[in-house]
A and B are shown apart, each in its own frame.
Chain A
């Protein structure tokens, strides 16, 4: 009997190990298709895609492969900063990559990107011109990038918890310095996002290079630190759903998931999203083609495929980050179209900015200031 019990325990444990092993792999770099090395010389039937994790409906990849006969080798990255040196070194020559605004600018400035031949991407007409305008902040002639997802950064708050604390719902960044929220604030754990909050609060540009403005932002962040429960990135979502904190700085794209999850779990509190009055970060992730891409035409086919309204809709439903694709937007239910936390009104975005790449030296200043905040 005892032996059986032990054997059972062992089986359970090894299963757990196996499962956790699989999970670890799934959250790392994923490749679909076979071994990378057996590529043909011409490379005309393959496509190396480098995208954010959980940033595409996997069905879409299969559909693309079936339709075009191109084999997709799909890798994931977690931050723009992690992606950049890989493209720069060119150890793996990716054909199509999906970085964010300021990183695209950095790649353009350092000559890492190829111009897209838009004759091969007719579906670019489906992209709302408003977003192409927005792209001009980092790609002035719209030559290098095709928008894929966009969104804002705002404050997520727990109505019940705020009620218990006797604090009114936040409406501006300034509210994140309210002493009554001590230990109830989740901040973003990335330099630019954290400084965006402090700079915008003081009415400065989030692309500021002025040392006194940055110094003031640093002081504010240090002042705020005792109130902050934790600096996190993706965990804001789960912590807020779990009722861990009263307010959190979050990317708008998570809202749809959060609202569904709160409804599914039957929670006794509501999570609401607000765009701070002072303005915020308006971000865009766009597809670009690196200069050293071996399969540029396939990459253009890929981009064109993703711009198709039905495909963009499928991706939107999976990713839940707002799509810049007008065709896909028109296909959505009117409920979704009118969901202001997912698709905010354009006029509410007047104070918003798009991140710009500020050059290595300024980035270093930001990093040093952030380190001072963190070590304080």
Chain B
């Protein structure tokens, strides 16, 4: 009985902030302005503009996920091998920027990358050619990698730090070289962390609209931007919800992948 009482607040939370909003999105997504059932909102993903935005989002988030993985795995390795004391301090340093508002950090990148920005100031001082990354797809990828890298590092680090040193020693005793240890021991054992990291980077990157707005100069339309515009500018909540439903399919797929590879929840970030 008392256990049920304790669960009460969470149930209210879940109902109020997850289930009801989700139900509303489904309702809006499947009705038109007159409240009649329609699948036109969901089907509108097939229009050339929406399709293009979706492909571009998929492409950019795939690229940034790959870059995140390439950067995060070696880093997680280093952190693990540093041992508890110093390693956790570095992890702490890594999490530190996350205390600052994500929006502010992205805006800071804008100032850094601008034509007369900080980075170009330094480059001209050193008589190096200026960069012109701002308002391009490259800037968006940079923003995604910067913002989501910790979400890749932490789950991989968590998994790696649980791998027993003795396993590695045993492999070495049995004559495996470093490459073999990496491919046959480290990688297979860290799959749950990698999968969890990939979904934790891929899903927010796929749905972002802030990064593309701030660093893409609103010139590059991602599916997140389309949805945001439908809600805030066009006032068409029905189409916005319909497109959100389409995006949810991708999120469900990644959840299914997690469930398959990370049965014990080992790879969760926190």
Contact = CB atoms under 8 A, between A and B. Distances in A.
A229 interface: yes
Nearest to B222: A375
Given A228-B219, A229-B135, A375 B49 contact: yes
A181 to B, nearest CB: 14
Interface string A217-228: 000000001001
Given A20-B101, A231-B219, A371-B49, A242 B233 contact: no
Interface residues of A, number: 35
Given A20-B101, A232-B218, A371-B49, A244 B116 contact: yes
B101 A375 contact: no
B18 interface: no
Which of A21, A81, A230 has the most B CB atoms < 10 Å from its CB? Answer: A230
B232 A189 contact: no
B233 A230 contact: no
A260 interface: no
Given A228-B219, A372-B49, 11 more contacts: A13-B96, A17-B100, A189-B218, A229-B135, A232-B218, A363-B234, A367-B233, A367-B234, A371-B49, A375-B48, A375-B221
B114 A242 contact: yes
B87 interface: no
Contacts of B99: 13-14, 17
Interface of A: 13-14, 16-17, 20-21, 23-24, 79, 81-82, 84-85, 189-191, 225, 228-232, 239, 242-244, 360, 363-364, 367-368, 371-372, 374-375
A85 B217 contact: no
A371 B232 contact: no
Interface of B: 33, 48-49, 52-53, 96, 99-101, 103-104, 114-116, 134-135, 217-219, 221, 225-226, 229, 232-237
A230 B217 contact: yes
Contacts of A375: 48-49, 52-53, 221
A371 B100 contact: no
B221 to A, nearest CB: 4
Nearest to A372: B49
The 6 closest A-B pairs by CB, nearest first: A230-B217, A231-B218, A375-B49, A367-B234, A374-B221, A375-B221
Contacts of A21: 101
A360 B49 contact: no
B105 to A, nearest CB: 9
A329 to B, nearest CB: 34
Given A375-B49, A375-B53, A230 B135 contact: yes
